[in-house]
Amino acid sequence: MADDTDGAHDGDVTYGAEAARRSYPGFGGRVGRTVAGSEPWWPPRPEPPAGAPNIVVVLVDDLGYADLGCYGSEVSTPNVDALAARGLQYTDFHSTPMCSPTRASLLTGLDPHAAGVGTVAHADPGFPGYAMELADDVVTLPETLRANGWATYMVGKWHLAKDSDQSDAGPRHSWPCQRGFDRFYGFLDGFTNLHHPHRLVEDNSPVEVDTYPEGYYLTDDLVDRAIAMVKAGKASAPDRPFFLYVAHGAVHAPLHARADDITAQAGRYDVGWDEVRERRYRRQLELGVLEPGTELAPRNSEPDNDVLPWADLPERERELYARYMEVFAAMVASVDRATGRLLDALAEMGELDDTIVVFTSDNGASREGEMVGTTGYMVHLTTGDDVDADHDRLDLIGGPQTSPHYPRGWAMAGNTPFRLYKINTHAGGHTVPFVISWPAGGLAAGERRRQYAHVADLSPTLLELAGVEPLTERHGVAAKPMTGRSMVPTLRDAQAPAQRTEAVYEMIGHRGFYRDGWEVVTLHRPWTRFDDAEWELYDLTTDRTELRNLAEAHPEKLAELAAAWEEAAWATQIFPLDEGTGLKYLLRPPRTDRVREPLTIWPGTPSLERWRSAQLIWLRSFAFDAPVTVAPGDLGTLVAHGDQSGGYALYVLEDLVPALAGNDGRGHMTVVRGAPLAAGEHVLGARFDAFERDRWRMSLVVDGEAVGSADVAMMYGMAPFEGITVGRDPRSPVWWERHVTHGSFPWTGRQGPVTYLPGPTAPGMPEDVIDVLRAMGASFE
């Protein structure tokens, strides 16, 4: 009988020597009939280059150029100052003029509009430069680093996802863990309450907090989490480098700080913003942050941007405004202390010397408190100034019962020596501190660099230092190449030329373009045409603070740079420009229409996300019903929407008294009470009837009948800031006194689902408002 063991077949099964030549698609080993007769193979995993450093980027929110000690501030920042002393301090570094765009540029190495995030991520108007999420064909720094073997961690503020995508329903494609981070702990929104954060997220899931512990403070929590992430990673894989992105919520409003930090600043700002600004300027010259001959810009006097002389203010206002700045300074000090704790932890682990550490800000100091500041940040821009109400809460400023923002005079001091503020394309809007340290990488210590650089340069710089190339595709799609320029030559050599010679800026209609020391810039007024007449021209080599407009003296240079801005704007997706009608914020994809339909929320549902909740009540009448079964002794919260910065809630109080409460965001409570309820089943609820453009008639409803009402200010914009919760009033409460006595004041009885019924828009708000605004704005095309 013939020996056929080398080639026998039985159906599709191959036996003998031929089996030794078989494998599976994509498998690099050899597969026999047994494990012993096979050769294993494991798909390779990314390995970082030999000697790869750790990378830490600390991004502070709304920190001005002059707000750190090493940049001239009177605020004590010993940890950041020490970081600068063992590294390099850039004196001509630029962000974008607003938070979300800077974050997009930092993480992608692109101009922000090219990355899809041309302004703050609270809109979705349907244009590529304003998608309000990172584009699919854009690669992030953590995506590249993770693909090359780094662990990637983030804590803090994200603000790179559409507000409509931040609910539990997502989608999550532009959340941190989908854009390159292994771990995330922080918040997706643009800001939060630092004492009682409104919605923390861990990785891809909201963290449902009922009541924060006494003394909780977000800045400390974020650094605790950052240190824990690094320690956990190093415990499991000691040789694996990490990238840590710490994006603080501070020092953005609401201005919140620990009581002891505020006390430490007492009296320091009684001298006022003019004197503080002058002192900072002199200190900048002494330190060498400013070159000799640099002039201090005069007090801001541009229309709608002006600041009053401190000496001309009434004593009552000076007292109030000084308190705001004491809290802001306390926030800066807390960020410095947190930075020190992080660096100390890295040093204790033996990781600090081989860690590239970057410390910077996302834009200039903010003018959002406008002329007089506020203790009610969420409602200030919609309900106006109330200095008397703010002064009445003087001792509460900085604590959990207020949501303050300082007046723009302090932002002017924060941006010393420059003009204007955050959102502006003048220097005060985007000239920010920048410190970088890497002892093991051979970077010099205690030196300054005066070369022009931009936040889009950071990703290519870090990748070059790390020894890796950026990814060229993402999910099979060719990626836009980074347009930022590596700063490495200037890191290595103080005399090296600036690697960036051009930069384009745009923010809500303000425009700017830099080329080789020259700059054109506009201070655009809404509802006016975009034309060449508004361009200003400056030679920054001799006029760093933009004091001498050379537009008439050098018309050819102005025309050259204006044309360059136009070309760059088309190349980076800046168009269409915001004409100031507000249309950009009203345009939404049709799929979002469903968020204004009736909604049922069951007891036990985690708090509904802020934006999703607001759509049920935004600029319209609305009502809700809350069926309950009450028994003697029952009490608690049936529905809560909002917090100490403004909101409303429905309660059953002692003796079964139903109550509907409204908080105006400035400490004033309006409470409508009904007669005690009989034991048994009831349908409680509320009606908010929009009887004026910005007023509601708030009615308590018991079993279908209105039993009392009061007129209150309508909330819109960012208020109510906490989303809707059924059966309790968690975190920052609508009613502070009930929080003090009862915590989240949970309902003790039985409760059915709450149904929200959005009603007609407010008077004066036509249903076709988008068409009306489009027609009005078309004349500026």
What is the predicted pLDDT for the residue at 22?
Answer: 77
- Enter the pTM of the model: 0.95
Is the pLDDT confidence value at 3 over 70?
no
Would you place residue 348 in the very low, low, confident or very high pLDDT band (cuts 50, 70, 90)?
A: very high
Is the pLDDT confidence value at 556 over 80?
yes
> Considering 94, 159, 454, 682, which one is annotated as catalytic?
159
Mean predicted lDDT score pLDDT of the chain: 94
The structure tokens listed for 223 are 């650094």
Q: Span 28-38, mean pLDDT?
A: 93
The structure tokens listed for 724 are 């809707």
Give the percent of the chain with pLDDT over 90. 89
> Which candidate, 334, 203, 196, 202, places its Cα nearest to that of 257?
334
> Considering 70, 99, 196, 198, which one is annotated as catalytic?
99
453-454 and 151-157: which strand pairing?
unpaired
* Residue-wise pLDDT tens digits, 619-644: 999 999 999 999 999 999 999 999 99
Q: Span 401-407, mean pLDDT?
A: 97
* Cα gap 80→430, rounded to integer Å: 20
* Residue-wise pLDDT tens digits, 708-746: 999 999 988 788 999 999 999 999 999 999 999 999 999
Is the pLDDT confidence value at 251 over 90?
yes
Residue that the structure tokens 């999550």 belong to: 172
Is the pLDDT confidence value at 766 over 70?
no
The structure tokens listed for 205 are 């899931």
Q: By mean pLDDT, which of 150-154, 592-596, 669-673 is the weakest? A: 592-596
Q: Are 759 and 652 in contact (CB under 8 A)?
A: no
Please give the full DSSP string across 586-648, using - where no structure is assigned: H---GGGGGGGS-EEE-TTPPPPPHHHHHTTTTTEEEEEEEEEEE-TT--EEEEEEEETTEEE
The structure tokens listed for 395 are 């001792």
Q: Are 523 and 549 in contact (CB under 8 A)?
A: no
- Which SS3 state, helix, strand or coil, does residue 573 take? coil
* Cα gap 422→410, rounded to integer Å: 12
What is the predicted pLDDT for the residue at 381?
Answer: 72
Is the pLDDT confidence value at 15 over 70?
no
Please give the full DSSP string across 179-230, using - where no structure is assigned: TT-SEEEEESSS---SSS-S-EEETTEEE--SSPPTT--HHHHHHHHHHHHH
Q: Span 535-558, mean pLDDT?
A: 98
What is the predicted pLDDT for the residue at 341?
Answer: 98
> Element (H or E) spanning 353, and its range?
none
Q: Span 102-108, mean pLDDT?
A: 98
For residue 511, the cross-strand partners are: 506
What is the predicted pLDDT for the residue at 774?
Answer: 75
What is the predicted pLDDT for the residue at 10?
Answer: 44
Is the pLDDT confidence value at 416 over 60?
yes
Would you place residue 768 in the very low, low, confident or very high pLDDT band (cuts 50, 70, 90)?
A: low
Is the pLDDT confidence value at 18 over 60?
no
Is the pLDDT confidence value at 523 over 60?
yes
* Cα gap 68→80, rounded to integer Å: 8
Would you place residue 755 in the very low, low, confident or very high pLDDT band (cuts 50, 70, 90)?
A: very high
> Which candidate, 450, 474, 249, 473, places its Cα nearest to that of 362?
249
Would you place residue 8 in the very low, low, confident or very high pLDDT band (cuts 50, 70, 90)?
A: very low
Per the model's pLDDT, the better-predicted residue between 160 and 586 turns out to be 160
Is the pLDDT confidence value at 17 over 60?
no
* Residue-wise pLDDT tens digits, 350-375: 999 999 999 999 999 999 999 999 99
- Which SS3 state, helix, strand or coil, does residue 83 take? helix
Q: What's the length of the chain? A: 781
Q: Span 566-571, mean pLDDT?
A: 98
Q: By mean pLDDT, which of 22-31, 71-80, 445-454 is the weakest? A: 22-31
Query: Measured between alpha carbons, how far is residue 213 from residues 184, 195, 196, 210, 404 in Å?
Result: 22, 10, 9, 10, 22
What is the predicted pLDDT for the residue at 779?
Answer: 67
Q: By mean pLDDT, which of 530-534, 540-544, 720-724 is the weakest? A: 530-534
What is the predicted pLDDT for the residue at 7?
Answer: 43
Q: Are 652 and 635 in contact (CB under 8 A)?
A: yes
The structure tokens listed for 302 are 């541009």
Q: Are 745 and 755 in contact (CB under 8 A)?
A: no
The structure tokens listed for 303 are 């229309």
CA 314 to centroid of chain Cα atoms: 34
Would you place residue 421 in the very low, low, confident or very high pLDDT band (cuts 50, 70, 90)?
A: very high
The structure tokens listed for 118 are 């041309």
Would you place residue 19 in the very low, low, confident or very high pLDDT band (cuts 50, 70, 90)?
A: very low
DSSP structural state of residue 665: S
> Which candidate, 664, 640, 655, 629, places its Cα nearest to that of 745?
640
Would you place residue 1 in the very low, low, confident or very high pLDDT band (cuts 50, 70, 90)?
A: very low
9-10 and 200-202: which strand pairing?
unpaired
Q: Are 222 and 155 in contact (CB under 8 A)?
A: yes
Would you place residue 149 in the very low, low, confident or very high pLDDT band (cuts 50, 70, 90)?
A: very high
* Cα gap 116→129, rounded to integer Å: 4
What is the predicted pLDDT for the residue at 776?
Answer: 67
* Residue-wise pLDDT tens digits, 37-55: 999 999 999 999 999 999 9
Tell me if residue 99 is catalytic.
yes
